[in-house]
Amino acid sequence: MRLAIDCRMIKMSGIGVYLENILPTFFCRNSSDSFLLIGNQEQLSQFADNKNCLFLACNIPIFSVKELIDFPVSEINNCDAFYTPNFNIPFGIKVPIYCTIHDVVFLDVRGITSFLGRVIRKLMLQRAVCLATKIFTVSEFSKGRILHYFPTKKEVIVTYNGINSLLKNYASKKPSPYTFKYIVYVGNIKKHKGLGLLLDSFNIAIKNGLLMKLVIIGNSCNFKTQDGDFISKINEQNDNILFTGWLPSEDVYNTIVHAECLVQPSLYEGFGIPPLEALYLGCPAIVSDIPVFKEIYNDLPVCFFDSKNKMDLVKKLENIETLPSQKDTIRSIIEKKYNYTSSAEKIYTSIDTYMHK
């Protein structure tokens, strides 16, 4: 089998991490198979030693008009199948198509994009569901939401996210980046991430006597220019809220490993990786009780809070020191259920089995 893979998102967060961690399993699955990797040549150089890989340079932006009409489909059509880690599918592909749809947040949460943007994304999602031979997603929750909007008899296969290779090889050797106790948040300002809820609860907890700071991994300018309400909430506790700016992965892990806890106050996720990484590092996690977190974290030692009640989060913040930390015992549990190798095996086996019918 010769499989073409859209790798243009290889260095992006989220989908890029997913792609970067499933590809090595693809390459080792069957030595007689070959792969056409489409994307930035420099970014794909990490796979240059794989003799069964060919590379096709393509820097066409994702979700662009040029992508639809000027993608190198003739080379793809010389392969046996095409896999994309997203739902953007160019015109003219004639071989079987396989895609991973991570979530349908743009349909479930209003205000993330404009009305026109929502319509365009819905059309692209619907097109992906229609064109794909099989569809993959990252949680049972996302599977349910995909089928809610796009009922189909096609197989929708859950392939969970996992612990990436960088984190597996990470060894904590650096001291804490701060001399004080702190809570850490990893995410962005998008409405569904729940940062506003965290800021409200943190401000109340500080007034009630909480002696910790909030460390937000990200750039303050990116947050403050987005929403005036966030500015006022941040300014209210300006001395107690710190922005790290962009950090390389090792420094992100070091910040998490020395935190008192990680808080993931999301109102919506397709999966939600930061709490999984925090637990793997031995850092306690407080997470909202949204359905997907109940699915992913119900059997793991996280502390759930009522996402509709900021005072419940205040209570959890004020009792951080009672949270469990089980790094040594929890790692094997996480790796058994949430690992990219098994997810990649599922995807590859599904494609390979269909192609050899």
Beta bridge partners of 287: 264, 304
Spatial distance between the Cα atoms of 262 and 348, rounded to a whole number of angstroms: 34
The pLDDT mean for the chain works out to: 91
Mean pLDDT for 138-159 is: 97
Look at 45-54, 175-184, 212-221, 303-312 and tell me which has the smallest mean pLDDT: 212-221
pLDDT the model gives residue 4: 97
- pLDDT tens for residues 37-74? 999 999 999 998 888 999 999 999 998 999 999 999 99
Mean pLDDT for 250-256 is: 95
- pLDDT tens for residues 193-205? 999 899 999 999 9
- pLDDT tens for residues 306-351? 999 999 999 999 999 888 766 678 898 999 999 999 999 999 999 9
Label residue 224 by pLDDT band (50, 70, 90): very low
- Would the pLDDT of 133 be above 70? yes
Percentage of residues in the chain having pLDDT higher than 70: 92
Look at 2-16, 18-32, 63-77, 132-146 and tell me which has the smallest mean pLDDT: 18-32
Q: What totals of helices (H) and strands (E) does the chain contain, helices first?
A: 16, 13
Q: Report the candidate in 136, 127, 130 with the shortest Cα–Cα distance to residue 155.
A: 136
Spatial distance between the Cα atoms of 185 and 187, rounded to a whole number of angstroms: 6
- Would the pLDDT of 222 be above 60? no
- Would the pLDDT of 236 be above 70? no
Spatial distance between the Cα atoms of 291 and 141, rounded to a whole number of angstroms: 7
- Would the pLDDT of 9 be above 90? yes
Spatial distance between the Cα atoms of 247 and 189, rounded to a whole number of angstroms: 17
pLDDT the model gives residue 129: 97
Side chain identity at 345, as an amino acid letter? E
pLDDT the model gives residue 237: 59
pLDDT the model gives residue 14: 87
CA distances from 102 to 97, 270, 298, 299 (A): 16, 6, 20, 22
Residue 322 token pair: 């009672």
Label residue 107 by pLDDT band (50, 70, 90): very high
Mean pLDDT for 285-313 is: 96
Mean pLDDT for 96-115 is: 92
Spatial distance between the Cα atoms of 272 and 34, rounded to a whole number of angstroms: 32
Label residue 245 by pLDDT band (50, 70, 90): confident
- Would the pLDDT of 254 be above 80? yes
pLDDT the model gives residue 50: 87
- Would the pLDDT of 241 be above 60? yes
**Contact yes or no for 304/289 (Cβ under 8 A):** yes
pLDDT the model gives residue 97: 97
Spatial distance between the Cα atoms of 325 and 328, rounded to a whole number of angstroms: 9
- Would the pLDDT of 225 be above 50? no
* DSSP codes joined into one string, 51-109: TTEEEEE--PPTTSHHHHHHS-HHHHTTSSEEEESSS---TT--S-EEEE----HHHHS
pTM surpassing 0.85?
Answer: yes
